[in-house]
Chains A and B, each alone.
Chain A
Amino acid sequence: MNTHFTPALLEQFDALRRQYPPEMNTSLVLPLLHCVQDANGFVTEADAHAIAIYLGMPSIQVVEALTWYSMFDREPQGRYVIKVCRNIACSLRGSERIVAHLQQRLGIDVGETTPDGRFTLKTVECLASCGTAPAMQVNRTYHEQLDEAKLDAILESLP
């Protein structure tokens, strides 16, 4: 019995496991890491070890996946993680202004979290919103065709 995770999380693990053919056990590494991150906001090495035990595979492979993929955070993040696209189409439509406006409004630099733990600001690569650039994600939600006024409205609308 795995006591590291909550019963609710383990239930999600079991449900995922039923989807994959048994010979594809190691394929569950990313789905389970996502599960933990969605539940806790970040994933620790201890989580990775517990996933390895759950799957009956070497810890090193789970830790390697945790550290290699950019979407997994290993430390607590702000309640709202803002990810602004900095790639080509968004740059051509003003993403630098979007980042500057957010830095100024939030009083933090890219890569930082506000002292109250409310916002983390990041830049990311192409979000596949190039036709509706500039774009960003706040947690899972996409926001597109951004300008300063729209940014202000989005920030104010967050609970």
Chain B
Amino acid sequence: MSGPVFMNHEVTTTSHTLAEYRARGGYVAFEQALRDYTPAQVGERAKASGLQGRGGAGFMTGLKWEFVAKDAPVVYLCCNIDEGEPGTFKDRWILEHSPHQLVEGMLIASYALRVRHAFAYIRGEFDLPLRRLQQALVEARAAGLVGENILGTGFSCDIIVHRGAGAYVCGEESSLINSLEGKKGYPRNKPPFPAVKGLYQKPTVVNNVETLATVPWILRNGPEQYAAIGVKKAPGTRLFGVSGHVQRPGMFEKPTGYPLAQLIHEDAGGILGGRKLKAVIPGGSSSPVLTASEAEAVTLDPESLGKAGSMVGSGAVIVVAEGTCMVRLLQVLSRFYAHESCGQCTPCREGTDWMNRILERIVAGQGTAADLATLKRLPTGIQGNTVCALGDAASMPVASFIKKFGDEFEHYVTHGRSLHEGRLAP
């Protein structure tokens, strides 16, 4: 089954164009919103759909929009296209294959929030996704869908593409806002939340690409239709990107509540080389790892994954086959977080660096039992003591890897070498 919100058309060399987007019903929802609904009614529909943010935190989209003061003279919208959570490649899929869907979603959200200037903050490395988005905006502007007095309705909105410059933390919404103001990307203390005081101190909504690109579908088909897909408490479809040791890595759109085992063994073709499943990181590199037996039992929704001690996060499913060294794999992640910590708060700056140095030592065969004990203790000192969630994101993999694959860590420090010859790739 291919899902209805994104994978509803054949991908060809022209399927990203305005003409083809229109042919599959594109911009009908936006035109209808401008014609038939007040901004408040659009917001009500977003809320009634039950849509939750797809950037990782899963906050209710309609509620976030509601936090913006109705009488605010200036409101900004930022689409978060920073897509940097390791394992995640869904926003890129949307931009490459259906960029107008995002443009339409941004326009509808801008109408609902009375936004004059909306920003598409896109990670600086992106090439084709950037070009596709720019082309879509040129087409939309020429068609009178973006700019002054859109379709003669008196509603004006510009979308400005803003390139980031290589910092994972800038995907965090308040860091993104500082970066968009031309500063270094230090996350801000919250409250105040961006919806109250964001870009240049004005109310600002930051939403993920997948979140915004879902909004046209909701208006066109009705919020009840959307709420009826998947699990009740977190409805809709999600773009699950499967990577790692599977036969057919790729992007799959599935309703929430879809069995993880089915995604791995059927949709993604099973484990590479006929090996057995060892572990799954189900929601991007920051989500706690699951053992094979846990992974075989869960469904892809917040409740089921939460019970198993993990989360849906960004929908990035990273699959690990038997024979892989979990110690070296964790060090790949600890190196990443140590590198990307912005350094603003001591527990995160020192903690991520310390965890990485210990893991480097262990991987080099020089770790001790005391190192391992410290490594177990460090996450508790970081979690909950930082300005942004990067500290937690760095801690959760460490805590869960050691908890679930502790014997490999013990073996490494006792014998000075990997239980699995340090293997990462097959």
If the complex has contacts A68-B185, A128-B83, are A89 and B244 also in contact, measured as CB distance less than 8 A? yes
A26 touches B86 (CB 8 A): no
- Of chain A, the residue at the smallest CB distance from B339 is A125
A86 touches B332 (CB 8 A): yes
A125 touches B243 (CB 8 A): no
Q: Does residue B50 face the partner (Cβ distance < 8 Å to A)?
A: no
A34 cross-chain contacts in B, Cβ below 8 A: 124, 163, 165
B128 cross-chain contacts in A, Cβ below 8 A: 142
Q: What's the least CB distance linking A24 to chain B, in Å?
A: 7
> By DSSP majority rule, is chain A's interface helix, strand, loop, or mixed?
helix
Q: Cα distance A68–B170 when bound, in Å?
A: 12
Q: Cα distance A29–B425 when bound, in Å?
A: 41
A93 cross-chain contacts in B, Cβ below 8 A: 243-244, 425
B329 touches A88 (CB 8 A): yes
B92 touches A92 (CB 8 A): no
Q: Does residue A27 face the partner (Cβ distance < 8 Å to B)?
A: yes
A88 touches B87 (CB 8 A): yes
Q: Cα distance A37–B357 when bound, in Å?
A: 33
Q: Does residue A94 face the partner (Cβ distance < 8 Å to B)?
A: yes
- Which of chain A's residues 80-102 have a Cβ closer than 8 Å to chain B? 86-89, 91-97
Q: Cα distance A97–B424 when bound, in Å?
A: 11
Q: What's the least CB distance linking A149 to chain B, in Å?
A: 16
Q: Cα distance A93–B332 when bound, in Å?
A: 13
- Of chain A, the residue at the smallest CB distance from B343 is A68
A156 cross-chain contacts in B, Cβ below 8 A: none
Segment of A6-14, A104-112, A113-121, A131-139 engaged in the interface with chain B = A131-139
Q: Cα distance A92–B273 when bound, in Å?
A: 13
Q: How many A-B residue pairs have CB under 8 A?
A: 156
Segment of B27-35, B294-302, B316-324 engaged in the interface with chain A = B316-324
Q: What's the least CB distance linking A111 to chain B, in Å?
A: 14
Picked from A71, A89, A128, A141, the residue with its CB within 8 Å of the CB of B84 is A128
Q: What's the least CB distance linking B307 to chain A, in Å?
A: 24
A126 touches B165 (CB 8 A): no
Q: Cα distance A27–B46 when bound, in Å?
A: 30
A141 touches B241 (CB 8 A): no
A30 touches B162 (CB 8 A): yes
Q: Does residue B379 face the partner (Cβ distance < 8 Å to A)?
A: no
B163 touches A87 (CB 8 A): no
B181 cross-chain contacts in A, Cβ below 8 A: 24, 26-27
A96 touches B182 (CB 8 A): no
- Which of chain A's residues 120-157 have a Cβ closer than 8 Å to chain B? 124-133, 137, 140-142
Q: What's the least CB distance linking B332 to chain A, in Å?
A: 5
Q: Cα distance A87–B338 when bound, in Å?
A: 13
B101 cross-chain contacts in A, Cβ below 8 A: none
If the complex has contacts A30-B163, A129-B89, are A21 and B117 also in contact, measured as CB distance less than 8 A? yes
B162 touches A96 (CB 8 A): no
Q: What's the least CB distance linking B10 to chain A, in Å?
A: 19
Q: What's the least CB distance linking A143 to chain B, in Å?
A: 11
B182 touches A140 (CB 8 A): no
A71 touches B424 (CB 8 A): no
Q: Does residue A64 face the partner (Cβ distance < 8 Å to B)?
A: yes
Q: Does residue B266 face the partner (Cβ distance < 8 Å to A)?
A: no
Q: Does residue B127 face the partner (Cβ distance < 8 Å to A)?
A: yes
Q: Does residue A50 face the partner (Cβ distance < 8 Å to B)?
A: no
A97 touches B425 (CB 8 A): yes
Contact flags A30-68 to B (C-beta < 8 A → 1, else 0): 110110000000000000000000000000011011001
Q: What's the least CB distance linking A61 to chain B, in Å?
A: 7
Q: Does residue B160 face the partner (Cβ distance < 8 Å to A)?
A: yes
A88 touches B333 (CB 8 A): yes
Q: Does residue B256 face the partner (Cβ distance < 8 Å to A)?
A: no
Picked from A19, A33, A86, A131, the residue with its CB within 8 Å of the CB of B165 is A33
A-side residues, CB < 8 A to B, are 19-21, 23-24, 26-31, 33-34, 61-62, 64-65, 68-72, 86-89, 91-97, 124-133, 137, 140-142
9 contacts between A and B (CB under 8 A): A27-B162, A28-B182, A69-B167, A70-B167, A71-B124, A71-B166, A91-B329, A140-B127, A142-B128
Rank and list the top 5 A-B pairs by shortest CB-CB distance, nearest first.
A29-B182, A69-B165, A71-B166, A130-B243, A68-B184
Known: A88-B281, A124-B166, A128-B84. 17 other contacts (CB 8 A): A27-B180, A29-B182, A30-B182, A71-B166, A87-B86, A88-B86, A88-B244, A88-B332, A88-B336, A89-B243, A91-B425, A92-B320, A92-B329, A124-B125, A125-B336, A126-B285, A130-B318
